[in-house]
Amino acid sequence: MNEGDLLKRSAEERERIFKRYERGREEGAEIDPWEDPGFEVYHATDRYGFIHDKRLPSKVDPQEAKKLQIELERQKKWLKMLKNWDAPNVKEKLHSRVYKGIPNSLRTQAWLRLLNVEKVKKEHPGKYAEMMKLARLHSTDARQIDSDVNRQFREHLHYRERYSIKQQSLFNVLTAYAMYNSEVGYCQGMSGLAGVLLMYMDEEDAFWAMHVLLTDPKYSMHGLYKEGFPKLTRFLAHHDRILAKFLPKMKKHFDKHGVDAILYSLKWFFVCFVERVPFNLCLRIWDIHLLDGERVITAMAFTILKLHKRTLLKLNDMDSIVHYIQVKLYKDFMYDDDVVVHNLEKSMEELKKAKLDHPGPPHKDELPTRPFGVFKEPTFEQIVGFRAEQFTEKEKATNQIVTLVSEAAREAAEREKESQLSVGESIGLAGTDTDNNSIVGSVITFASETSLCDSDESSVDECTRL
């Protein structure tokens, strides 16, 4: 197949993908049965739209009823505050009210104000529509975005159905933003970010909200998704410094079992704890993050480990430690949301006193260097989906970090096995059940599972090749 045929095939594939989203769920839409699993709406959907395997209680829990009543009372105060957003007394009350929790019915208005979306949108009239048109003609990310849209929030009522309105919106926002911010393009972590924003905003507002999160110095998420993930490297190093100072016993315990932060914290940093803590708590963290910026993320990472220190110190292998942090805490965090937020505030104060509340200013390579919204002609390799034969220097550096983490975990596992063998021999045991190969294999498995790329490769830098 010559270059012309490959370009034609890529253009036809892109057009087919866009047409499916344009058609949505109208009659004649091609949707596989497995893409629309059945569910009981009235028995299994919570107030945020998430569907649960088990039926929800028919009666409201008294504690939950009390919380809802308190939220109703707070709504009145928030409505007044939103009407007088720029008043001096509002700014004085904002901190305490955000930390108490933004009423869910008013989250849309509050988040739009906190991110200053209306101002940014007015400064760029027609730009979103322009980027959507460009994406339709030139997107090189449509195939990967299409695949990820169908995986994102599959347990949510509005994202569950193939080509539903929310899936259409998510596809539009991601393809348009990949054109607008060509330096980042698209990385899979961005689907979680945009997916949450679209639960509370329309398409264009979510597009600009995501741009603010990536480029405003308060959040600076651009460096997390940029080639080589420079901000991730800086945040992981800062997280390790916090552990070494405040949780040295846990740091030693993690090191002993080869548990590097990269194995459990990627979704903490990349998508602000989405799918790593229960969604109601995740929203509270997002409220505070939008108010106080990126230092909330590092403090919350510290808070999670601090609250669950006792349990984590009792877990004696890498698999169980990472599974506990990634899976068990998502299903049940085991602390009331208000208790968690109170501890988060304490953590922020504690870190501030130690001058560890902020990882410092972004490095030069984390900041945007290309102009936004300027179309850059894709290369032939990008259009047809060929991977580059050679990694860039930044990708090599990131890959080296992952390799070192895996090697450290392997060495720790081997030392642990040798220790167990020597103890077994000294008391006359024939051997041990520990299988070193399975431990090493699990390191690679966890690295792959926690990677935002969901690709066959275990290297984190593969995100940049999508």
Quickly list DSSP for 8-45.
HHHHHHHHHHHHHHHHTTSTT----GGGS----HHHHB
Burial of 366 (0-12, 13-18, 19+ CB in 10 A): buried
Q: 182 and 296 share a domain?
A: no
Q: 210 and 246 share a domain?
A: no
Specify the pLDDT at position 38: 60
Q: Of the candidates 185, 216, 247, which is a domain's last residue?
A: 216
Q: 262 and 202 share a domain?
A: no
Give residue 423's domain range.
394-465
Specify the pLDDT at position 424: 44
Q: What is the pLDDT of residues 353-371, one digit of tens each?
A: 999 999 989 999 999 999 9
Residue type for position 146: D
Specify the pLDDT at position 460: 44
- In a domain? residue 304: yes
- In a domain? residue 235: yes
Q: 299 and 332 share a domain?
A: yes
Q: 203 and 244 share a domain?
A: no
Q: 185 and 298 share a domain?
A: no
Q: Of the candidates 216, 250, 275, which is a domain's last residue?
A: 216
Q: Which residue has the higher pLDDT, 226 or 57?
A: 226
Q: Of the candidates 319, 344, 364, which is a domain's last residue?
A: 364
Q: Are 268 and 286 in contact (CB under 8 A)?
A: no
Q: Domain containing 350 — which CATH number? A: 1.10.472.80
pLDDT band at 149 (very low <50, low <70, confident <90, very high): very high
Predicted confidence (pLDDT) at residue 406 exceeds the cutoff of 60: no
Share of the chain above pLDDT 90, in %: 60
Q: 262 and 335 share a domain?
A: yes
Q: 286 and 320 share a domain?
A: yes
Q: What is the pLDDT of residues 277-292, one digit of tens each?
A: 999 999 999 999 999 9
- In a domain? residue 305: yes
Six-digit token string for 275: 């799918």
Q: What is the pLDDT of residues 289-348, one digit of tens each?
A: 999 999 999 999 999 999 999 999 999 999 999 999 999 999 999 999 999 999 999 999
Q: Domain containing 171 — which CATH number? A: 1.10.8.270
Specify the pLDDT at position 380: 73
How far from the centroid of its chain's Cα atoms is residue 22's Cα? 27
Q: Across-strand partners of 84?
A: none
Q: 162 and 292 share a domain?
A: no
- In a domain? residue 447: yes
Q: 296 and 175 share a domain?
A: no
Q: Which range has the worst mean pLDDT, 41-50, 133-142, 230-239, 332-341?
A: 41-50
Q: 212 and 236 share a domain?
A: no
Specify the pLDDT at position 41: 54
227 in helix, strand or coil? coil
Average pLDDT, whole number, for the chain?
A: 83
Specify the pLDDT at position 264: 95
Domain count, the chain: 3
Rounded Cα distance, 298 and 231, in Å: 12
